[in-house]
Amino acid sequence: MRRIEVDVNGSRHVRHVDERRLLSDFLRHDLGLRGTKVGCEHGVCGACTVLLDGAAVRSCLLLAVQVDGCRVDTVEGLAGPEGLHPLQEALHRHHGLQCGYCTAGILMTAVEMAGEAGPHSVEEIKQRLSGHICRCTGYAGIVAALSEVVGS
Amino acid sequence: MKPAPFRYERPSSLEEALRALEEAGDEGRVLAGGQSLVPMLNMRLAAPSVLVDVNAISGLDEIATEGEGEAEGEGEGDRRYLVVGALARQRTLERSALAASCCPVLPECLSVVGHVPTRNRGTVGGSIAHADPAGELPVALLALGGEVEVAGPDGVRRIGADDLFVGFLTTSLGAGEMLVRCRFPARRGAVGSGFAEVAPRHGDFAFAIACASVALDESGRIAGARLALGAVADRPLLVPAAGDVLGGSRGAEPALRAAAAAAQAAVDPADSLHAPAGYRRHLVGVLAGRALRQAVAKASEQLTKGGSR
Amino acid sequence: MRRGSVRSYGLHASVKARARASGPSASVEDRGGDRGGTLGRWRRRGTVDYRRMMVTERRAEAPTRPVGLLGQPVRRVEDAALLRGEGWFIDDIDPLPNTYHAAIVRSSVAHARLSGTDISAALEVDGVVGVLTSDDVAALSQPFPSVLDVPVDYRPAAVDVVRYVGEPVAVVVARDRYIAEDAAERVTVDYEPLAVAATVESALAPGAPVLHEAVGSNTLSDRHLRYGDPDGAFTRADLVVRKSFRVPRSTCTPVECFGVVCHWQKSTSSVVAWCNFQGPFTTHAVAAHALGIPASRLRLITPPDSGGSFGTKSSVYPYVVLMALASRRFGVPVRWTEDRVEHLLASSSATERVTEVEAAFSSEGRLLALRLDMIDDVGAYVRAPEPATLYRMHGCLAGAYDVADVDARARVVVTNRCPTGLNRGFGGPQLYLPLERTMAAAAGMLGMDPAELARRNLVPSSSMPYTTATGAVYDSGDYEACLDEALRLAGYSDARRDQGTARAEGRRIGIGLACVVEPSVSNMGYITLSQTPEARAQALPKSGNAEGVTIAMGPHGGVTVRFTTTPQGQGHATVATQVVADVLGVDPALVDVRTDADTAANPWTVSSGNYSSRFAAIGAGAVHVAAGRLAEQLRAIAAPLLGVEASAVELVGGAARVAGEPSRRVSIRRLAGAAHWDPAGLPPGVDAGLATTAYLALPGLDPPSADDRINSSATYGFLVDVAVVEVDPETFAVKILRYVTVHDAGRILNPLLAEGQVHGALAQGLGAALLERHVYDDQGQLLTASFLDYLVPTATELPEPVTAYFESPSPVTPLGAKGLGEGNTMSAPAAIANAVADALGLEDVEVPLTPGRLWSASAS
């Protein structure tokens, strides 16, 4: 077990974790932040994507001990008291989610894009989305939503 | 799908890391970006008893140039390198202005290495040390004729790309050694590179990869050409015959076709899950041609722009 | 008669929907949103539709009605929670304290006798509660029953013999999953290898290893069914086209895997199981039987959210049984969360089918008769509801074509591979790839344009309702109009011209077509076609299709809806809200739809669940019926207060008011309060509770007839796809230049959701066409057991389709709606295969159309 100190969505957490514990399990089961989903645990599906110091990463491919001293952002931190994040709003407007299981990961990739110099072309948006598997929507609504917020 | 237990070391200096690796011996594995290793841990295809997490070592993530001359095109005679610390993230190199100007083929091939979230974490050194025959970075290192710097119990040494990849997922690094820097020859003069692959989906391991680097002399003849292939052998493969065929030519279609044929002759790929052997051999010819054609075109552009140096 | 009466209340809601488009309503905040977004796109993309106009014209005769939500692109009520990460999926809930975690030890070989399992080392791992073994499973369970009367001993874990790689052989129960996996690695299993039959061909070969010795053959069922005079038709034919096809195993891979939490209560021998099951609830009884308990003692609870399923999660139930046994054995609640490798290896896959087609044509291009010889590989066991894949399409074996004579041989074969099950399309892709490829081949042989050949054979609209040779009743539709529209949107004649020009330039462009009749709301009786008429006569007749809905109004006028449709993203709650808000005239914000199912609390029947695109037709229909009954109650309570007959009361804008005199009104909240607080004041004959449960079964669904005809589904939609592709002549990579899909799924209840279903189905259909296939080696090892190797399409691989919708209301469903969520999984592989074959001039192509295969086919 190791002691780690992590800032998650602006809240400081101090926990003792097993060295082999995956960040995805730490977030979901130790901190109770179950908005981050687990879909493959080998880094392909993208459902577990979170921001680590602002960069989108697979939380299933990180050990919780590796984020000691870092800032992690998850889907729970997106909506503010004034309402949904513009990207959440856009996904809603464009029917960019069905079962909603891949949505948290897609949102975190989109938030990363929103923080970069834009605008992003549709082709770029599709390439960024290609790291996320959605089996429900066929992606068109997601591409439209992201285009509206981070596109040209 | 959870990792088996291991001892976790997080050294803060290279020396500590090397010591930890030496102590762990065969039981130790370096954890850098973890984008290839952690999936294997999760599936329990790998279960090292010691994991040496090198991410806390400072100074191994720089991207800089080294060698004669500060700016592109200066320092004739001596080679100039883009030096990439082993811990530099793939995404950082992909977006690096220095990489774009020194080795434009690197950002190009990095754009199809996995996906942004894996490149945000995956390291350049890790990808090369992993030596996946279908990895784009090892193929690029080979095509560019780069080298790596490795640190070990006996100090630091350099290994040329031609001597680095020795088998499936195997490099010539010795026990207790760790890759610390990658050195890519920087573009200078009438040099061009090309990259082509066909993968089932964006970001997937490709059916075949070709990466080429071509240098022209003042007269527009090919002074040197390197062609490397990926995903068609147990390791990234240099095709010297392709360079031999092209040397001295003007890179016209017949020569390019002959070089592509040489590439095809150099490989004997196996059937893979989604592509039969014959197709992959066919693809080697197509992609080698495409990569070389691009490289010649870009080198010619440079020649027109600034002449050979 | 039946048709007329059903249509009348179908029109009621639809008329309101049309009216809604012309005027705003203050009560619906969602509707007032941005019309430049998806809605605007949808509108532009949609075609001008004369059927809609007809409906609108008919409206002029109806009395002026307030605007309604049904038919509108209302945005989803599900999104608010899901976007915030507040959904409740199976792994997000902790229903019981002190729950232990399971890891399953699975067979590493495809066929072997189990000669010993050593669990001692596993038991020594700190944190392990116990290991459930094959012997425990044999002692504590019964074999799962099957519609096929054959001695196949199928249990949730292997007993004596393992028959596929990944078959459970033991279950470790431990404090957490990490520890459970540590211990699972320490279980050693001894296998005495047996010969492997990894394909249909090897399972049917002489001397093939027999999987189930008691059966004595790998063919578990072999039925030969004839309708009309196929032999005569083949004799008369001018052209007979013969072709062979293989539709390989693919799988829908929801992003959320299976999950189960089970608790066995000793005192009552009863089980509570939380799981992301999706129905059909026929298998609830199958699971209870295996557990040796009455079905009433197996309480299945599904959480409100499920991370996709597309059929696959029907196969959760064997794991419910397995974890219930583990809970029983060790006396603790047990949780099992499937991981992705387990899912790909051992959850379920679509049924592989090998088909021999013979099609008889006249020289004018009339399809006279069809012979289909179909062999379904169901894997190592027949897991209910299999062999349903083989018969789901039975009513529509000739697809969209008017064919009088049909001959069908249907065989069920076991192989040493994972059992198959529901996967979106279920039987459709297996039928339409052979059928539509055969049509394209016939067009070539007849020297006819494929679109013209289709046109000559489509069931004409004047024949609706049309009874097929095999017994289906196609309820409505104008297939030719859809074809025309699809061709127009695809620029078909221009594309054909450009194709020639491109070819001269060395480019390879192809155009492919697929016409598909899409059934929805299965008649469960079709599964009994696997039995002979004599055997059926001995058993309970089966025609299951009903759905139940409970609707209740609280004392403040809020409405709660409960049903057992187990949605996995389709937006059932949104549509139910639309229906209820329209029928009761209440603000949709006051409507709560509970999507979690509980067999101890919800209305349900064996046919409940989320499959065969049931919801629009029967789920929403049942909500409509239930809401209508509650509306009757409210009108009855309001009538004396308003001083009129109940029939003169309308429910609009949160009030009950006198029709034609909107100022004479009483609020629905007041009526609800009265019903709850003052039952004594209710009019005589009015029930004291403001709650009702309604069950709906659709008309026209009977058990199979003695001559093996069946209306295998309640309603039938139609779609035409046109694909234009370009194949790189060097790399053989396929690029989709244009994809048009035109649907007629009856009345569209929510165009936003309909579009989402079409896009989603198309994505899976294109995946199957171009990328997806489970690959096994000759020893039955699965080579595609991770997402690195099982390739599903991502945003970069999919085109943006052009879509359009016709609306021929179904006369058999309450709202006129039909399902449309599966059609493109049936059409896309055929349309793309036709286009690619056209581009490369190939007679035979195999899906998925990988560049390597196309190179091989072109090289030979």
Q: Show which of A55, A77, A99 is a domain's final residue.
A: A77
C-chain residues within 8 Å CB-CB of A142? 795
Supply φ then ψ for residue C169, to 5 degrees.
-120, -20
Q: Show which of C278, C313, C338 is a domain's final residue.
A: C338
Is residue C604 assigned to a domain?
A: yes
Does the distance separating the beta carbons of A75 and C759 come in below 8 Å? no
pLDDT, residue C15, reads: 29
Contact B54, B17 (CB under 8 A): yes
Is residue B58 assigned to a domain?
A: no
Q: How many CB pairs under 8 A join B and C?
A: 65
Assess whether A95 and A69 both reside in one domain. Answer: no
What's the Cα-to-Cα distance from C805 to each of A119, C479, C738, C755, rounded to whole Å?
A: 34, 12, 17, 9
The count of domains in chain C is 4
SS (H, E, C) B247-263: CCCCCCHHHHHHHHHHH
Is residue C228 assigned to a domain?
A: no
Does residue B1 belong to the interface with chain C, where contact is any CB pair within 8 Å? yes
Return the SS3 of C419.
Answer: coil
Does the distance separating the beta carbons of B1 and A56 come in below 8 Å? no
Instruction: Calculate mean pLDDT across residues A38-61.
Output: 98
Contact C395, C522 (CB under 8 A): no
> Among candidates B166, B127, B133, B140, which has minimal Cα distance to B37?
B127
The CA radius of gyration of chain A, in Å to the nearest whole number, is 15
Q: Show which of C338, C360, C386 is a domain's final residue.
A: C338
pLDDT, residue B182, reads: 98
pLDDT, residue B74, reads: 44
Does residue B175 belong to the interface with chain C, where contact is any CB pair within 8 Å? no
Assess whether A15 and A37 both reside in one domain. Answer: yes
Assess whether A66 and A133 both reside in one domain. Answer: no
Assess whether B172 and B199 both reside in one domain. Answer: no
Enclosing domain of residue C115: 90-194+258-338
Assess whether B49 and B89 both reside in one domain. Answer: no
pLDDT, residue C63, reads: 39
B-chain residues within 8 Å CB-CB of C341? 1, 43
pLDDT, residue C67, reads: 63
Structure confidence by residue, pLDDT tens digits, C592-613: 999 999 999 999 999 999 999 9
Does the distance separating the beta carbons of A144 and C89 come in below 8 Å? no
Is residue C20 assigned to a domain?
A: yes
pLDDT, residue A118, reads: 86
List, in sequence order, every residue forming a beta bridge with B230; answer none if it has no partner.
B209
pLDDT, residue B77, reads: 52
Shortest alpha-carbon distance between residue B83 and chain A (Å): 23
Q: Is the peptide bond before C704 cis (omega within 30 degrees of 0)?
A: no
State CA A85 to chain mean position distance.
13
Assess whether C4 and C145 both reside in one domain. Answer: no
What's the Cα-to-Cα distance from C773 to each of C124, C202, C351, C763, C776, rounded to whole Å?
A: 41, 19, 11, 15, 10
> Among candidates C228, C206, C233, C335, which has minimal Cα distance to C275?
C335
The count of domains in chain B is 3
B-chain residues within 8 Å CB-CB of C182? 4-5
Enclosing domain of residue B249: 191-306
| CATH code where residue A62 lies | 3.10.20.30
Asked if ipTM goes beyond 0.90, one says yes
Extract the residue ranges of chain C whose pLDDT is less than 50: 1-66
Assess whether B121 and B232 both reside in one domain. Answer: no
Ranges assigned E (strand) in C284-429: 298-302, 334-337, 352-361, 367-377, 405-413
B-chain residues within 8 Å CB-CB of A56? 116-117, 120
pLDDT, residue A96, reads: 98
Does the distance separating the beta carbons of C851 and B198 come in below 8 Å? yes
Assess whether C622 and C692 both reside in one domain. Answer: yes
Does the distance separating the beta carbons of B201 and A112 come in below 8 Å? no
Contact C248, C847 (CB under 8 A): yes
Q: Show which of C338, C368, C386 is a domain's final residue.
A: C338
Residue of B38, B92, B113 to mutate, interface with A, max A Cβ within 10 Å:
B38
Assess whether B234 and B173 both reside in one domain. Answer: no
* Facing residue for B2 by CB, picked from C178, C730, C733: C178
Number of other residues whose CB lies within 10 A of the CB of residue C53: 11
Q: Show which of A59, A77, A95 is a domain's final residue.
A: A77
pLDDT, residue C29, reads: 33
Give the residue with greater pLDDT, C22 vs A149: A149
In our burial notation (b when 16+ CB lie closer than 10 A, e otherwise), range C255-271 reads bbbbbbbbbbeeeeebb
Assess whether C106 and C152 both reside in one domain. Answer: yes
Number of other residues whose CB lies within 10 A of the CB of residue B77: 7
Residue B69 has pLDDT above 70, yes or no: no
Shortest alpha-carbon distance between residue B25 and chain A (Å): 20
Assess whether A8 and A73 both reside in one domain. Answer: yes
Assess whether B122 and B165 both reside in one domain. Answer: yes
pLDDT, residue B68, reads: 62
| CATH code where residue C444 lies | 3.30.365.10
Find tokens 């999953």 and name the residue.
Answer: C177
Is residue C74 assigned to a domain?
A: no
Q: Show which of A54, A77, A100 is a domain's final residue.
A: A77
What's the Cα-to-Cα distance from C436 to each of C310, C476, C772, C829, rounded to whole Å?
A: 23, 22, 20, 10
Assess whether B155 and B265 both reside in one domain. Answer: no
The count of domains in chain A is 2
Assess whether A96 and A131 both reside in one domain. Answer: yes
Assess whether C488 and C411 both reside in one domain. Answer: yes
Assess whether C279 and C176 both reside in one domain. Answer: yes
Is residue B87 assigned to a domain?
A: yes
Assess whether C403 and C471 both reside in one domain. Answer: yes
β-strand pairing of B28-31 with B50-53: parallel
pLDDT confidence bin for B245, thresholds 50/70/90: very high
Q: Show which of B152, B185, B218 is a domain's final residue.
A: B185
Assess whether B180 and B198 both reside in one domain. Answer: no
C-chain residues within 8 Å CB-CB of B200? 771, 791, 850
Assess whether B141 and B224 both reside in one domain. Answer: no
Is residue C147 assigned to a domain?
A: yes
Assess whether A53 and A30 both reside in one domain. Answer: yes
| CATH code where residue B271 lies | 3.30.390.50
Contact C640, C683 (CB under 8 A): yes
Residues 6 or more apart whose Cβ sits within 8 Å of residue C20: C67, C68, C69, C70, C71, C72
Assess whether B92 and B174 both reside in one domain. Answer: yes
pLDDT confidence bin for A151, thresholds 50/70/90: very high
Assess whether A8 and A62 both reside in one domain. Answer: yes
Enclosing domain of residue A39: 2-77
pLDDT confidence bin for B67, thresholds 50/70/90: confident
Assess whether C175 and C314 both reside in one domain. Answer: yes
pLDDT, residue B306, reads: 76
Assess whether B110 and B203 both reside in one domain. Answer: no
Q: Say how many residues make up chain B.
A: 309
Is residue C277 assigned to a domain?
A: yes
Assess whether A19 and A66 both reside in one domain. Answer: yes
Assess whether C362 and C464 both reside in one domain. Answer: yes
Assess whether B229 and B157 both reside in one domain. Answer: no
What is the residue-averaged pLDDT of chain C?
92
Is residue C537 assigned to a domain?
A: no
pLDDT, residue C35, reads: 30
Assess whether A72 and A110 both reside in one domain. Answer: no
Structure confidence by residue, pLDDT tens digits, C228-240: 999 999 999 999 9
What is the residue-averaged pLDDT of chain B?
95
Assess whether A127 and A106 both reside in one domain. Answer: yes
What is the residue-averaged pLDDT of chain A?
98
pLDDT confidence bin for A55, thresholds 50/70/90: very high
Assess whether C61 and C107 both reside in one domain. Answer: no
B-chain residues within 8 Å CB-CB of A112? 116
Assess whether A144 and A90 both reside in one domain. Answer: yes
* Facing residue for C85 by CB, picked from A41, A75, A142: A75
Assess whether B70 and B170 both reside in one domain. Answer: yes
Assess whether A71 and A97 both reside in one domain. Answer: no
Assess whether C475 and C624 both reside in one domain. Answer: no
Does the distance separating the beta carbons of C339 and B1 come in below 8 Å? yes
Assess whether C464 and C517 both reside in one domain. Answer: yes
| CATH code where residue A115 lies | 1.10.150.120
Is residue B103 assigned to a domain?
A: yes
Structure confidence by residue, pLDDT tens digits, B268-289: 999 999 999 999 999 999 999 9
Structure confidence by residue, pLDDT tens digits, B3-12: 999 999 999 9
Assess whether C678 and C706 both reside in one domain. Answer: no
